[in-house]
Amino acid sequence: MTPFAQALAALPDGTFYGTAHGRRYVATKSSFANGKSTKLVAEELGGPDYISLNWYTLETGGRLKPCEMPEAKVRAFVDALVPDA
């Protein structure tokens, strides 16, 4: 499993609050197809930032599909996101 896949898998399912890059977010992580597909959507609280991605676990490895934003942005976000305790 790649570091990105591990970071995404470590995030809680459902809606949660967290911090990334010094900013607060509300995020929702949903899993589909017996965990083979994951969707993450996050909105900055009190700010304009928005993150949306789909992750697919394939036999050939993982496939990241950012939703209309650079892949580097979603990778950096997932790596930095720390859910509230």
pLDDT at 4: 95
pLDDT at 41: 98
For the chain, which residues make up each domain, given as ranges? 3-83
pLDDT at 1: 83
Q: C-alpha angle with apex 42: 51 to 60, nearest 5 degrees?
A: 60
pLDDT at 54: 98
Average pLDDT over residues 14-21: 98
Q: Is 5 helix (H, G, I), strand (E, B) or coil?
A: helix
Average pLDDT over residues 65-81: 97
State yes or no: pLDDT of 37 exceeds 90.
yes
pTM above 0.85, yes or no: yes
